[in-house]
């Protein structure tokens, strides 16, 4: 049985800026939430920054955006479509970020300050790499 194909929607590459702007807004919200100690909001905004940033890169470089039911579908598209230095490292970083989504949104405990610090570092590094890829 072959793996299920990842659903993607074709999008004009010039529209990547919309997703990049969304990512930037989530990034700013992540930083603001962290400054005031809203750890859950920091975490969720960081995760959404990474998702929107990935959409921006895939739209700019491949003209597609994931339409899959899982946020992890975007990981497969990233691996398949983006062949750049550090892609494997950054794909692993994205998985690590996405792995926090269930904890932040659904588990019956608060996201901690140290978890928020760790996630923020990963998001900063990932978002920085995305912006470099889009600019090149």
pTM, full prediction: 0.93
Report yes or no on 111 lying in a domain.
yes
Q: If you average pLDDT over residues 121-129, what whole number do you get? A: 98
Report yes or no on 48 lying in a domain.
yes
**Looking at the 3D structure of the chain, how many domains does it have?**
1
Higher pLDDT, 72 or 99: 99
Residue-level pLDDT at 1: 46
**pLDDT at residue 8 is higher than 50:** yes
**pLDDT at residue 42 is higher than 60:** yes
Report yes or no on 109 lying in a domain.
yes
Please, what is the average pLDDT of the chain? 93
Report yes or no on 126 lying in a domain.
yes
> 65 - beta bridge partners?
9
Q: 39 lies in which domain range?
A: 13-135
> pLDDT of 78-97, one tens digit each?
999 998 889 999 999 999 99
Report yes or no on 3 lying in a domain.
no
Residue-level pLDDT at 2: 46
Residues in Cβ contact with 62 at an 8 Å cutoff, skipping those fewer than 6 apart: 77, 81, 82
CATH number for the domain including 124?
1.20.120.330
Residue-level pLDDT at 7: 82
Q: Please provide residue 67's backbone torsions phi and psi, each rounded to the nearest 5 degrees.
A: -120, 15
| 73 burial via Cβ count (<10 Å: 0-12, 13-18, 19+) | middle
């Amino acid at each position: 049985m072959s793996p299920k194909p990842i659903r993607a929607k074709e999008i004009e590459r010039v529209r990547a800026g919309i997703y990049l702007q969304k990512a930037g807004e989530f990034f700013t919200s992540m930083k603001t939430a962290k400054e005031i100690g809203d750890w859950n909001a920091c975490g969720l905004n960081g995760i959404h920054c990474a998702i929107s940033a990935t959409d921006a890169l895939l739209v700019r470089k491949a003209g597609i955006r994931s339409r899959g039911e899982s946020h992890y579908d975007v990981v497969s598209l990233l691996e398949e479509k983006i062949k750049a230095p550090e892609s494997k490292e950054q794909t692993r970083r994205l998985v690590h970020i996405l792995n926090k989504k269930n904890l932040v949104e659904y588990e019956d405990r608060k996201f901690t300050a140290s978890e928020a610090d760790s996630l923020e570092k990963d998001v900063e590094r990932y978002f920085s790499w995305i912006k470099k890829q889009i600019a090149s």
